[in-house]
Structure 1
């Protein structure tokens, strides 16, 4: 369990603020004088005179929830697509599934988000769908690549000869054999989703310009950075901590499952 301590220590504060902060903080405070320090505000005020502490407490939920939802939606679509492409014996079906995804991969993710967001109104649900759409092509290719070797092995052929269902063969055997690779990709995918959520909010996509959001705070409070830096520094540090902590936790989980890893030495009082 010690290997999880660094990641937990880094991610604990931003995650607690994002998920639990709004439950105990109540409504954000009213507007006042922009970019002030003191006057009852521990970290001063933001670009429209709102208390920075209140904005920080309310500003993480969108980042975390949208990133988690987008990652889950991406794998909900990518997992069956990748498994079907890996297990099918028909080349045409594989091309039909994977070639359109290759076209989407050629479009830069931020450009796709900006183009689609220009048509649809801002909202957390729409932003999650956009980021999921951006991640589906790459995630499906990873699933297919991870499952291809096992799908071509004798164990899958034996399961087919025994009359096992496609679901048990694909998920119960091929999916389980690919679980380590998919877990590593999920960590990177979640980190990338956090980056895209923050970037989209920074560009004003998916959220209102004055929303209580960490990325919006970084963007909108930049003009007063030299006067009131806390409105920029605090949300920026929280976003970085959330991203780094997530990577550390996934790395620790994969480290514990590494094949050939030596078991820990028994204590002196343990009988063999």
Structure 2
């Protein structure tokens, strides 16, 4: 594995551990007012200082990382399952179904993802469940296009034709003959979708349309402490660096994997 891949793996591994164990080792309850000073600097008591209400930034950061990574992982799983499922259906189904699904996805993908998500959030609200579904649906078309291009190419190969000649059904061909040979390129797409969803969720939260108080993901932590930007407060710098390091780490790991250097 190249150095960039090792750095990416270390960053991703760190944030996975933070998401799993962070809330258990957080020094204070995330909503507790523990400091008399707002936007305090780093001290032995508050490693990342305090936020605009005197809450411990480190504790809120660890809980926010779990929400950001958890919701993003669930959303990307839904998006990939729907997109790949529809792509396989289009590849093995009749031509009219392929055309119908492809044109529908082309229509959706022509709408910028943030605008599409903003419209859906404004229409249906931003509870945790709805927000996850909205973000997932936003990225279904992108996954569909990649999965369909892979599936259509596989559908013309000899071993798939042999399966058809044996009388295998469309479901068997899609799930047994084609899907296993799509896994590796789809894994790279899953990583990219995860990055896009992290950024979209953080962007929506920064605009006040994501998770609502008292819940707070990394984007919400940036928004609620934006008044400390002029002071360079750790309360705003820490979640911003967390978002950047997470997305950069995933990108470095994907880059190493797609180059075929991950052993």
TM-score (structure 1 length as normaliser):
0.85
- Give yes or no for contact 1:74–1:139 (8 Å, CA) kept in 2: yes
Task: Compare CA radii of gyration and give the structure with the larger one.
Answer: 1
Say if 1:24 and 1:44 are closer, same or farther in 2 by CA, change over 3 A.
closer
Residue deviations 1:96-140, cap 9 Å, x none?
Answer: 222222211122211121111123333222211011110111111
- Within 5 Å, give how 1:66-105 maps onto structure 2: 66-88=71-93, 90-105=94-109
Unpaired segments of 5 or more residues in structure 1?
A: 259-263, 265-272
Distance (Å, rounded) in 2 between the aligned partners of 1:198 and 1:120 = 18
Determine if the alignment matches structure 1 residue 213 to structure 2 residue 214.
no
Moved more, 205-214 or 76-85: 205-214
Root mean square deviation of aligned Cα: 2.3
Distance (Å, rounded) in 1 between the aligned partners of 2:140 and 2:260 = 28
Determine if the alignment matches structure 1 residue 192 to structure 2 residue 193.
no
Distance (Å, rounded) in 2 between the aligned partners of 1:179 and 1:63 = 25
Distance (Å, rounded) in 1 between the aligned partners of 2:78 and 2:261 = 26
TM-score (structure 2 length as normaliser):
0.88
2:126 — aligned with what? Answer: 122
Determine if the alignment matches structure 1 residue 144 to structure 2 residue 145.
no
1:180 — aligned with what? Answer: 184
Say if 1:6 and 1:43 are closer, same or farther in 2 by CA, change over 3 A.
closer
User: Which of 41, 45, 50 lines up with 2:50 in the alignment?
Assistant: 45
1:28 — aligned with what? Answer: 30
Residue deviations 1:58-86, cap 9 Å, x none?
Answer: 21111101111111001111112101212
1:257 to partner: Cα distance = 7.0
- Give yes or no for contact 1:87–1:151 (8 Å, CA) kept in 2: yes
Unpaired segments of 5 or more residues in structure 2?
A: none
1:159 — aligned with what? Answer: 163
1:13 to partner: Cα distance = 2.8
Distance (Å, rounded) in 2 between the aligned partners of 1:78 and 1:121 = 24
1:243 — aligned with what? Answer: 247
Say if 1:257 and 1:183 are closer, same or farther in 2 by CA, change over 3 A.
farther
Aligned residues: 258
Matched position secondary structure for 2:139: helix
